[in-house]
Amino acid sequence: MINSNLEQVHGFKFHGLGRVPLSDPDDPASYEPAYWWAENYFNGKNRFDDRLLIPMDSRTVASPTGGSDYVFYRHGGWSWSIPYVAGVYALTAQVDPDITPEQFWAVAMETGRVIELQHNGESVLLGPIIDPVALISSLQNK
């Protein structure tokens, strides 16, 4: 079972990512610190490399206003990252049905992408960002 208390329950550290609207969600360069932690990140308070970064923001979803309505949310929360990582885990289980959560997390950290961001004239690294294609390829090649 996966929930937003992964660190407390399983010791798996993660954080949710922001994404520039209309940018390619499959391109790691589209991501940035999420709105609610970006200021601390760029001030140097929340820079880390021991957390798996998972897409979170800029989602279009079914709207609560009707069965054929959709809504775009620019900002989200950790609960938006949980279905994403659960889906990637399910895909990896198709490649390796015996994969454990610990193995999944280790390979996800190893295969995650690191990008370089520019902010106020400073170059900063952001990652590892989960890379489902690299993660699954790594498992297929074992």
What does 2-60 look like in DSSP terms, one character per residue?
--TTHHHHH---EEEEEE-TTS-TT-GGGEEE-HHHHHHHHTTSS--SSSEEEE-SSEE
Q: Count how many domains the chain has.
A: 1
68 lies in a domain? Answer: yes
> Which long-range CB contacts under 8 A does 37-43 form with residues at least 24 apart?
41/124, 41/126, 42/119, 42/120, 42/124
10 falls in which pLDDT band (50, 70, 90)?
confident
Q: What confidence tier does 1 reach under pLDDT thresholds 50, 70, 90?
A: low
Q: Which amino acid is at 104?
A: F
Residue 79, domain member (yes or no): yes
Does position 137 have pLDDT exceeding 90, yes or no? Answer: yes
Count CB atoms within 10 A of the CB of residue 24: 10
Residue numbers of the domain that contains 117:
6-140
Let me know if residue 37 belongs to a domain: yes
- What's this model's pTM, rounded to 2 decimal places? 0.91
Token representation of residue 127 = 């990652």
Is the residue at 80 inside a domain?
Answer: yes
Is the model's pLDDT at 7 over the cut of 90? no
DSSP letter assigned to residue 86: H
Residue 1 within a domain: no
- The pLDDT, as a whole number, for residue 48 is 86
| pLDDT value at residue 26 | 93
Residue 123 pLDDT > 90:
yes
122-137 mean pLDDT: 97
Q: How far apart are CA 106 and CA 120, in angstroms?
A: 33
